[in-house]
Structure 1
């Protein structure tokens, strides 16, 4: 599956983690994936902007959306996610 030009390799790792672990704190996501928290926070905001994950509580817990699940399953293409570059 080709990634949209705005997506980074870490984004798929974050998506997969949230799909497998369900809603989770970004600090735990960062720790489990071996990434810096600030980077995970920035990339998660990009995933939110593109509708792939959503915040599910006031405590800032995130999960994948239906669109995010479809992306991971290879059911949607780049045009469904937009081509805007976000870093």
Structure 2
């Protein structure tokens, strides 16, 4: 878990959405090598935390300003460097 309480997969999702907004959860899961069910649960957590938001009723999401701030080093946020280049497949 990151110092700000985010899991490494959360940081990966936020970084992906920061570069490629907006996007469907299945596509994000596929691109990150994460099981779809796990990605859906993490998106729910990120939405609850105000870090991402749905764009349409079709489960397309984008990063919020609060999510970008969570990626900004020096503000108690996650480091933008990946902990590992390997896909995250389970809870960290």
Superposed structure 1 runs of 4+ greater than 4 Å apart: none
Deviation, structure 1 residue 75: 5.8
Rounded to whole Å, the distance in 1 between the matches of 2:58 and 2:74 is: 31
1:29-68 correspondence runs (5 A): 29-68=28-67
> How many pairs align?
76
Gaps of 5+ in 2: 78-92
Query: Structure 1 or 2: larger helix share?
Result: 1
In the superposition, the TM-score normalised over structure 1's length comes to 0.80
Rounded to whole Å, the distance in 2 between the matches of 1:20 and 1:8 is: 19
Gaps of 5+ in 1: 79-87
- Tell me the equivalent position of 1:11: 10
Structure 1 vs Structure 2 CA RMSD: 1.5
Rounded to whole Å, the distance in 1 between the matches of 2:74 and 2:65 is: 11
- Tell me the equivalent position of 1:73: 72
Give the match's secondary structure for 1:67.
helix
